[in-house]
Amino acid sequence: MSASPVVELDQVGKTYYNGAVETPVLFDVSCAIVPGEFVAIVGGSGSGKTTLLNLMGLLDRPTAGEIRIESVKVTGLDEVERARVRRDRLGFIFQFHYLLPEFTVIENALMPCRMRGREFELAQEPRMRELLAAVGLDDKLKARPAQLSGGQQQRVAVVRSLANNPAVVFADEPTGNLDSKSGRMVFDLMKRLNRDSGTAFVMVTHDDHFALEADRVIRIRDGRIQGTKGGKG
């Protein structure tokens, strides 16, 4: 496993502007995510943790500092180049599954591959079928999202995040809309896929129990990193 980080932030700041009103959210944040690790980002509401995740995932732009993805500076890339990096090297899981209702389970899981062309989609389909079977959805491949439970829908979303063999998956409160049993199943699934695939996972969570099971915990308060330490000890 390479020791080179998959994501690096160097003195990153973020300020939002609404006319003459400035709202600083992040201040001089420096951190790195290495291949294969599972990192939890925790902090109170309004601490800046989701903003931090969005900056790492190129869903937002910093107003200060530098961001690198697999050692490539991405801060100055235009929107087309940023979209290409997100498509090819990053995966995402959100609090809501965002499955497309008119498509089947297997079609939803393959959607990121479809964006890279039909040939790539066909090449990845066997692997995605195997992943869906591994998470207990082999009998749901032709089902529509409305025919699934909340936990099953989120399992599809987790598998979808790995469609393009990303270097890192970003998960924003992925268990937040689930009951405790379904949330535990989804979290355990992410941990298993992290271990089996070697893909790094970065998860924002309010759940201290899940955070403590991560390889590392980044604590953020008032827009500043307060500490980084091992979760599992």
Q: State the pairing for strand pair 21-33/7-18.
A: antiparallel
* pLDDT for the residue numbered 80: 94
Residue 80 counted as domain residue? no
Q: State the pairing for strand pair 64-69/7-18.
A: antiparallel
Average pLDDT over residues 43-56: 91
Residue 20 counted as domain residue? no
Q: Is the pLDDT of residue 37 over 60?
A: yes
CB within 8 Å of 7: residues ≥ 6 apart? 32, 33, 56, 67, 68, 69, 168, 200, 202
Residue 160 counted as domain residue? yes
Split into its structural domains, the chain has a count of 1
Hey, is 202 helix, strand or coil?
strand
Which carries the bigger pLDDT value, residue 229 or residue 19? 19
Q: Categorize the per-residue pLDDT at 31 as very low, low, confident or very high, splitting at 50, 70 and 90.
A: very high
Report residue 59 as tokens. 């869903």
Residue 76 counted as domain residue? no
Hey, is 43 helix, strand or coil?
coil
Distance, in Å, from the CA atom of 176 to the CA atom of 120, rounded to the nearest integer, reads 32
Report residue 127 as tokens. 């692997």
Residue 121 counted as domain residue? yes
* pLDDT for the residue numbered 232: 53
Range of the domain at 95: 35-61+85-230
Q: Categorize the per-residue pLDDT at 229 as very low, low, confident or very high, splitting at 50, 70 and 90.
A: low
pLDDT digits (tens, 9 = 90+) for 101-141: 999 999 999 999 888 888 888 998 999 999 899 888 999 99
Q: Is the pLDDT of residue 2 over 60?
A: no
List helix spans (H) across the chain. 49-56, 79-89, 105-109, 111-114, 118-134, 150-160, 180-197, 208-212
Residue 66 counted as domain residue? no
Residue 134 counted as domain residue? yes
Residue 142 counted as domain residue? yes
- CATH number for 214: 3.40.50.300
* pLDDT for the residue numbered 208: 87
Q: What is the pTM of this model?
A: 0.89
